[in-house]
Structure 1
Amino acid sequence: MFVLVVALYFLLACGVAGLLLFPAAREIVYLALAKRRQQIGAQVQNWRDRRSETTRSLSQNLQASRLSSWQFIKRHQWILLAGMAVVLIPPLTAWMLSGKTMLGSYDDSGQVVNQQIAALLEGEQLVPPPPLPPEVFTTQEVAQVRPMLDTASRNWQALDADFTQRLLMTFKIMKEKHGYDMVIIEGYRSPERQNALAQMGGSVTNAKAFQSYHQYGLAADSAFMRSGKLVITEKDPWAMRGYQLYGEVAESVGLTWGGRWKMMDLGHVEFRKPGVMKR
């Protein structure tokens, strides 16, 4: 490595000495540099000429396109105006009519719900209803729709206090405003029961232990009472209408309704408290 450095230094020194001592060598180097500079200048000028030509071509094409478009519009102006009318008039008409319909059918019944929610937040304490006889939940019709309901917990005391008040308020509104008597068919659910239900397949539940708010006392499944009988089936139009109203009322008091899920659970509501479950 040292020898290579010395050799390079020697060659460099010889070159510098040659330029200093021999005018002919300096002339050769000068001519070579001048020729190279001319070549670079020619390349730069050639690039500038091509760019200028491209710019002129694009400008001419753009002007021609504008002129052609304007001529097309002038030749077909009435057809274009008619087409715009066909496209714009129907949606504008529908928008104007829908706006009038919304204003004309405004329903202030939501104010009643807001007052009841305000009362709930101000501290109105609702009392859970007395438990129903066990045989209400063990009929053949109920067992076909909801398996293992006879062993489900319907103890209001096992539920979160805040969730309990919101659910009771929902039941109250459903009764007073819509005429539906509602009962809780399952509240708190143990981890063991949750796993047992999950093993029955996706038609029952996909949630395993501690994947459901039931294990935290923050969820409940409810149904309707009609003529002293429990109505759970979704095939009953009266019950389906009730579930829709139930979802609206539950959401208005801050609960999450299972009817909006991909796998709908119409009778299910839950109260998603921050920090309880990560979703």
Structure 2
Amino acid sequence: MLIFLVFLYFCLACSVIGLVVFPAGRASLLQFLGALQRRLLWRAGGWGRAGGSTVRAGWSGAGIAWRDVRALLRRNRVSCAIGLPVIVVPSLLALLMRNPDMLPGYEPVETVVDPQVAALLKGEQLVPPAALPPLAFTTREVELVRPMLVDASRNWGLLHPDFNQRLLLAFKIMKEKHGYEMALLEGYRSPARQDMLARMGTQVTNARAFQSWHQYGLAADCAFWRDGKLVISEKDPWAMRGYQLYGEVAESLGLTWGGRWAMMDFGHTELRLRGVMRK
């Protein structure tokens, strides 16, 4: 509904600007209104003299009012030239750059988890895999795709318990069913680190401190472990197939997968709980 109202407001603003700036547009509108008036008068040919006089007086008054508006706009053309873009441009930017996934007040719709998966989550408590060697996060290939990853937190204990178990179950399914060994790149992220990453640009993240589920232990970035190396790049066909399978598994567990976003983040998953992220 909000997007529709912004779009309607944008169209109305563009129409007003078009009438002010382009004389041909004003002439076409007046011609259309004149034709509409003649058509209505023709259909209501039985109108009396008083009715006709009222209509003519109304159109005459409208013409005078329109001339007054044009004169006012001409006298204040500099203010209009500055003010109208100030009104229109922010609305257009808000429409084009919207990303509700990162809005602090965003309250998602609760997803429905498969009953069998829900039973598994209520069953055994899964334990995290062995930690990878720190050098695995400092290779040139990793630095090119995910700079500053070596300082990221991979402490499973800092993740929300519900998200922790769903993510571990996703790891288990990926390995046992699809043959992919998963690796946690980053889980909990401090507000200071979130702001630092945001300063690096939108290609890294759109969210500042407390605008990301990472700050609540409800998000994680993951990749694959193959032949003793981390495989992150989507340019690897094997990894890209793995990300697609990972997205399917994550969504079956009630998680949100970043691969469906406008700025796709294939290794990212999060659990959106109501009442956690607030303005």
Paired residue secondary structure (1:222): strand
In the alignment, which residue of structure 2 is the partner of 1:195?
Answer: 195
Residue 219 of structure 1 contacts residue 269 of structure 1 at CA under 8 Å; is this kept in 2?
Answer: yes
Deviation string 1:229-257 (CA, Å, 9 cap, x unpaired) is: 00000100100000000000000001000
Give me the whole-angstrom Cα distance separating, in 2, the residues matched to 1:164 and 1:204.
24
Residue 120 of structure 1 contacts residue 166 of structure 1 at CA under 8 Å; is this kept in 2?
Answer: no
Query: Runs in 1 of length 4+ with deviation above 3 angstroms?
Result: 113-116
Alignment of 1:56-75 (within 5 A): none
In the alignment, which residue of structure 1 is the partner of 2:236?
Answer: 236
Residue 257 of structure 2 contacts residue 268 of structure 2 at CA under 8 Å; is this kept in 1?
Answer: yes
Give me the whole-angstrom Cα distance separating, in 2, the residues matched to 1:114 and 1:233.
30
In the alignment, which residue of structure 1 is the partner of 2:125?
Answer: 125
In the TM superposition, what is the alpha-carbon distance from 1:177 to its structure 2 partner?
Answer: 0.7
Give me the whole-angstrom Cα distance separating, in 2, the residues matched to 1:162 and 1:233.
28
TM-score by length of 2: 0.58
Deviation string 1:128-157 (CA, Å, 9 cap, x unpaired) is: 112111001110100000011010000000
In the alignment, which residue of structure 1 is the partner of 2:221?
Answer: 221
Q: What RMSD in Å do the two structures reach over aligned CA positions?
A: 1.9
Deviation string 1:137-190 (CA, Å, 9 cap, x unpaired) is: 110100000011010000000100100000000000000111000010000000
Which structure 1 residue ranges, 5 or more long, are not aligned?
1-49, 51-112
Deviation string 1:165-220 (CA, Å, 9 cap, x unpaired) is: 00000000000111000010000000000000000001110100000000000000
In the alignment, which residue of structure 1 is the partner of 2:171?
Answer: 171
Give me the whole-angstrom Cα distance separating, in 1, the residues matched to 2:231 and 2:156.
20
Give me the whole-angstrom Cα distance separating, in 1, the residues matched to 2:219 and 2:261.
15
In the alignment, which residue of structure 2 is the partner of 1:110?
Answer: none
In the alignment, which residue of structure 1 is the partner of 2:157?
Answer: 157
Sequence identity (%): 73
> Which of these two proteins has the greater Rg computed from alpha carbons?
1
Which structure 2 residue ranges, 5 or more long, are not aligned?
1-45, 47-112
Paired residue secondary structure (2:182): strand
Alignment of 1:34-113 (within 5 A): none
In the alignment, which residue of structure 2 is the partner of 1:250?
Answer: 250
In the TM superposition, what is the alpha-carbon distance from 1:277 to its structure 2 partner?
Answer: 1.5
Q: 1:150 to 1:194 in 2, by over 3 A?
A: same
- Which is helix-richer, 1 or 2? 1
Give me the whole-angstrom Cα distance separating, in 2, the residues matched to 1:175 and 1:114.
19
In the alignment, which residue of structure 1 is the partner of 2:50?
Answer: none
In the TM superposition, what is the alpha-carbon distance from 1:123 to its structure 2 partner?
Answer: 2.9
Give me the whole-angstrom Cα distance separating, in 2, the residues matched to 1:275 and 1:114.
23
Residue 198 of structure 2 contacts residue 204 of structure 2 at CA under 8 Å; is this kept in 1?
Answer: yes
